[in-house]
Every structure is written in C-alpha cells, then in structure tokens.
Amino acid sequence: MARPILLAVDDDANVLEAVVQDLRREYGATYRIMRAPSGQIGLDTLAQLKARQEPVALLISDQRMPGMTGVEFLEQARELFPEARRVLLTAYADNEAAIRAINAARIHYYLNKPWDPPEEKLYPVLTDLLEDWQAGFQPAFEGLRVIGLRWALKDHRLRSFLSRNHVPYRWLDVASNEEALSLLAERNLDPSHLPVVLFTDGSLLVDPEPEELAARVGLSTRATADFYDIVVVGAGPAGLAAAVYGASEGLRTLVIEPVAPGGQAGSSSRIENYLGFPSGVTGADLGRRAHIQASRFGAEFLTQRAVGLRIDGQYRFVQLADGREVSSHVVLLAPGVQYRKLDLPGAERLTGRGVYYGAALVEAVACKDEDVYVVGGANSAGQAALHFARYARNVTMLLRGPGLSATMSKYLIDEISRTSNIQLQPLTQVLEAFGEERLEGLRLKGPEGEARVPATSLFVFIGAVPGTGWLPESILRDEHGFVLAGPDLRAEGKLPEVWREQREPFLLESSVPGVFVAGDVRHGSIKRVASAVGDGSIAVQFAHQYLAGF
Ligand SMILES: Cc1cc2nc3c(=O)[nH]c(=O)nc-3n(C[C@H](O)[C@H](O)[C@H](O)COP(=O)(O)OP(=O)(O)OC[C@H]3O[C@@H](n4cnc5c(N)ncnc54)[C@H](O)[C@@H]3O)c2cc1C
C-alpha cells in the first residue's frame, strides 16, 4: 500500500523548504512528504490524490498566502479529506484568527512560526495528531473482512465492537455487494447465517460471540493472575481514570470491559468541553489514549462482562460472563449507564435494523445521502446530529419540548443552527416505528397532528438507566438503580441496617466495605466526562486508605 501523505502548503519557498525538510527528517520513513506553493495547487494535488484513492494523513498550511489563505485552503481541503489532520502555521499576530478558525475550519492545531527546535515545538504536536489519524485509518483491503447485512442487529453489534476496539476491517453488505456473495459461495457458507468474519490467514468465524472474536483479534479475555489489589468494572472515563491512577501508584489493577475502552464517551462523536482539548476530542480517541496510558503503567484489561459480585470476608470476587471469577480486596464499580429504550410499537423489533440507541457511529457512513431522524434534545443528541449531518442528506431532530435552549449547551445549539442540513421539529413525539425487515417509516405526532414519514434510521437519545441489575442486594441503590455511596448512604437513612464497620464509609464507598463506585452509575453524579474522571481518580485514594487496613 502507498505510504500515507503529509502535504505542506506555503507560498514562501524558504519556509516551505524548511517545513518539508523537518517533516522528511522525522516522518519520511513512514509517510510521503509532498509540497504545494499555493492553496489552489494544494487543492488540485489533493483532488488527484483522492482520484487515485491515496491516503492523506496531514495538511500543514501557512495562513498568509496571496489568493487563498491557509484557513480557506484547510476548509476546502476538509471536503476532500475530512479525516486528515489540519494544522495552520501562523505568525504570532494572527493567533486570534487562528483560534476563530478552530471552529470555522475545524483546524486541529495552530503552530507559531518559527517552530525551532522542531523536537520541542513541532514533532510532539504532529506525532500526536498522526497517532490519532492512524487510529481511525483503515487501509484498503487489509485486515479482516466482515460479511453481513446492514439491517441486522448482530451485524451492527459486531461492526461496532471492531470499530470501537480500533480493529481495521472491511465491511461487505450481502444486500448490495456481489463480492460478498461470491466470497460466501467460495467457502460454501450459508448466506442466511451471518455475520461472517474472514481473517487474513484464510480462517473464519460465523456469528461469533464477542469473547471469541476478542480472542482472535488479540484482545485479552482471561486474567493472567487470580488476585488483584483492585478490580475495576467498566472502562469508561471513570474506570480508565481509576486504572491510570491505581496502576501508576503501584496497585495491581485489572479492568473488565466487554465492549471497548472509552465507555459512553467512546460512542460520542466529539467531546468539546473536556479540559485541555481546545478543538475537541472524540470519545474513541480519549478512550484509546487512556487505555494506552493505563497499560503503560501496568494495568491489565480483559474483554469480559461482569455478571455478579460475591463477597467472602475480606475478599471480593467478580464473576465474569464466561463463568470464571477474579478476586481482589477492592472493587471499583464504574459500569456507567445504558440508553433508555423507546417504549412504542415496532421499536424493539426494529432495534439494530434502523432503530439505534446512542450515537451508533459505525452506522454514519451507511446513512450517506439518506434522511436520518434523531430523538432527543440534550447534548448527546446534538453531537450525534452534527456527526450524522456530515454523511446524511438531512437530519431531523425530533424534540418533545419547544426548542433546544433548555436542554443543550450553547456551543452545540450554535453549531446546529449553522448546519444547513439539520432541521428541528419541536413538540413532536414518535408514536410508532414501522417496517418489515428494517425501519421504513415513523408515525409522528406534532402540533399539526399525526403524520407518517418515510425513514431508514432513527437514533434515540432519551436518557439512560444505570447498569446495576447484576449487583447483589447488599450493594444499596436508590429507587432508579444508581449506587449509593459515602455520605449519601446515611442521608438516605440506609446505613444503620447494613454497615458493620467502626468507621464511616469513605466518600465513594458503597454499602459493602471495599466496594467503591465512580462515574455516571453513582447516585447524584454529574453526568460529564470530567466528573467521571474525577470520581475514578478520587476513588483510588480511598482504595489506598482501605487497603492500608490490611
Ligand atoms: C452521545 C453522548 C455524548 C456525550 N457528550 C459529552 C460531552 O461532550 N461532554 C461530557 O463531559 N460528557 C458527555 N457525555 C457524558 C459522558 O460520556 C458520561 O458522563 C461519561 O462517559 C460517564 O463515564 P463512566 O465511566 O461513568 O461511564 P460510561 O462512559 O458509561 O462507561 C461505562 C463502561 O462500563 C462498561 N460496562 C457496563 N456494564 C458492564 C459490566 N457488567 N461489566 C463490565 N463493564 C461494563 C460499558 O461497556 C462502558 O464502557 C456524553 C454522553 C453521550 C451518551
């Protein structure tokens, strides 16, 4: 495969030469370095690369150029290579314009000239951006092939699992791809028994369980030890923060996660309000970075689901979906929340066949040129609408209330109003989803009465419920299932019945000593990435205090 391309654009020949030399020195072995002396020539070059299906990883352009500014170039280049990382080179005096451009042109970074020494001022930034790009890059025809049916829940789950674990794959839909049918025929496989995963070594799996697939793609499904200091259930922001702090402070740390590191944030298209990421960060990137960080400190990750918790004296046993158990002194519960389901005719039957819960980012490309509906008016729905608007012809947001201002952050409302293919439909509810094999339409009730509209995709964001049904009764919860911890146990008047210790429960400690809780699943938690990260890190401090008692 051709090496991915880094393209530098500048009208000043000396500066352009300097950029190209610096890029070549650091990245020449892995990437092809190209140059263009103006924005227009840069766009022409990109159009040719696009026609030849060559991958472009990074665009770095000077701001001040005659004819076309750097921002204008990067904005137009985004249409051709939306995934390429975009960097603007500016003089110090242009910083204001550069900051505005972060929003308008979706620039990932701006760098001040000169950038000497590049080891300090250029390479760390570019390497970071290129790692992000690599994580989402799927080289053509290499890696796994998944043969499935777009309108099948199993297929959707399998593709989501692979995407969220950054496993490159190519998807072949039997309904629209002849190659898919011939690949099945060559192997004497039944086209009604899908999905099928074809590996590069010629082996295959038919309709695999996540654990089976996880093991084949190199994810770990079995713990390497019987006993840990701390077992963390869930690798969302809360669990990942606990893993980073726990492992970096010397605790033997095991993290159990059935889907992929990143949690709900991993399915969110872009988190724009998390500290330190001025141009936003996708949840998947945040999850990937935290996973690498925790692993570097020695945390172990298992692709497994926790299905039970057993307490035996000072030992806590987390039971796994494959029947095994892992033991520890401390357990941190961070399983987050799951999306609330639509309770209306047709919704359950059509789940995964056009009705999706959460951002289901893996479906976005499949929605190209279609009309998409999003139910909900909170931030998560707004982010999803903006994401789908990049692919779909039209995105309609169905809102129960009169508008977005009471439920959504202002930066999202502004961006939605600037996006011409997103429409708001206030005071509207879905009454029914209909279709035989897949979603074909919706019955809606709005201010003008009832109407049936054709629809192929409906993405639902109507709140969430905690994933705590598998916990024993001794872990006390509120009436909605959120886990009570620390002072909330006493405030709810539950403590005297269950607590046998001489001390008060630590902050974030549940009704069972040594079992802590962090993130969205905790009663009274703030449903934000930063709060979940805060909870996860604080919980580790109390885990140390608890362990000091042994
Ligand atoms: C679409 C969307 C957009 C959002 N945008 C923003 C935003 O822009 N800014 C912001 O601050 N917040 C945002 N949020 C909220 C934010 O994502 C959550 O507050 C945060 O992810 C909570 O982190 P958590 O670790 O508590 O739980 P989660 O992120 O829910 O992670 C829990 C993890 O536990 C795993 N798990 C569940 N059950 C089990 C089990 N039995 N065994 C093992 N593992 C299990 C799950 O697979 C999951 O990976 C958004 C949420 C959504 C849905």
Cis omega (within 30 of 0) for bond into 195 = yes
Distance in Å, CA 263 to ligand 1 centroid: 4
pTM for the model: 0.76
**235 Cβ below 6 A of ligand 1:** yes
- In this structure, are residues 434 and 349 in contact, taking their beta carbons and an 8 Å threshold? no
Residue of 106, 140, 119 lying closest to 4 (CA atoms): 140
Residue 482 has pLDDT above 90, yes or no: yes
From 221, 244, 264, 363, give the residue whose CB has the most ligand 1 atoms within 8 Å, as the site to mutate: 264
Confidence band of 359 (pLDDT split at 50, 70, 90) = low
Q: Once rounded to an integer, what is the mean pLDDT over residues 252-277?
A: 86
In what helix (H) or strand (E) does residue 238 lie, and over which residues does it extend?
A: helix 237-248
Residue 312 has pLDDT above 90, yes or no: yes
Distance in Å, CA 167 to ligand 1 centroid: 21
Work out the mean pLDDT of the chain and round it to a whole number. Answer: 91
Q: Once rounded to an integer, what is the mean pLDDT over residues 154-173?
A: 87
Whose C-alpha lies nearest to ligand 1, atom 13? 528
From 160, 267, 268, give the residue whose CB has the most ligand 1 atoms within 8 Å, as the site to mutate: 268
pLDDT at 88: 93
Distance in Å, CA 381 to ligand 1 centroid: 14
3-state secondary structure 217-234: CCCCCCCCCCEEEEEEEC
**271 Cβ below 6 A of ligand 1:** yes
Residue 256 has pLDDT above 80, yes or no: yes
Q: Once rounded to an integer, what is the mean pLDDT over residues 473-498?
A: 88
Q: Once rounded to an integer, what is the mean pLDDT over residues 414-434?
A: 96
pLDDT tens digit sequence for 183-242: 999 899 999 999 999 998 889 999 998 888 998 888 999 999 989 999 999 999 999 999
* Distant-in-sequence, close-in-space partners of 368: CB < 8 Å, separation ≥ 6: 391, 392
Residue 360 has pLDDT above 70, yes or no: no
Where residue 179 falls (left for φ over 0; alpha for ψ -120 to 50; beta otherwise) is alpha
pLDDT at 417: 95
**234 Cβ below 6 A of ligand 1:** yes
- In this structure, are residues 144 and 217 in contact, taking their beta carbons and an 8 Å threshold? yes
- The tally of CA atoms less than 13 A away on the side-chain side of residue 434 is 10
Distance, in Å, from the CA atom of 14 to the CA atom of 26, rounded to the nearest integer, reads 19
pLDDT at 96: 80
**258 Cβ below 6 A of ligand 1:** yes
Residue 95 has pLDDT above 80, yes or no: no
Q: Once rounded to an integer, what is the mean pLDDT over residues 28-36?
A: 95
Tell which wins on pLDDT, 417 or 166. Answer: 417
In the chain, the percentage of residues whose pLDDT exceeds 90 is 67
> Which atom of ligand 1 is found nearest the CA of 260?
49
Confidence band of 329 (pLDDT split at 50, 70, 90) = very high
pLDDT at 270: 77
- In this structure, are residues 148 and 155 in contact, taking their beta carbons and an 8 Å threshold? yes
Residue of 273, 275, 431 lying closest to 342 (CA atoms): 431
Q: Which of 93-102, 199-208, 236-245, 272-281 has the highest mean pLDDT?
A: 236-245
CA dihedral 278, 283, 286, 292 (to 10 degrees): -160
Which residue type occupies 378?
A
pLDDT tens digit sequence for 102-157: 777 788 998 888 898 999 999 999 999 999 898 887 665 567 899 998 888 888 88
Residue 421 has pLDDT above 80, yes or no: yes
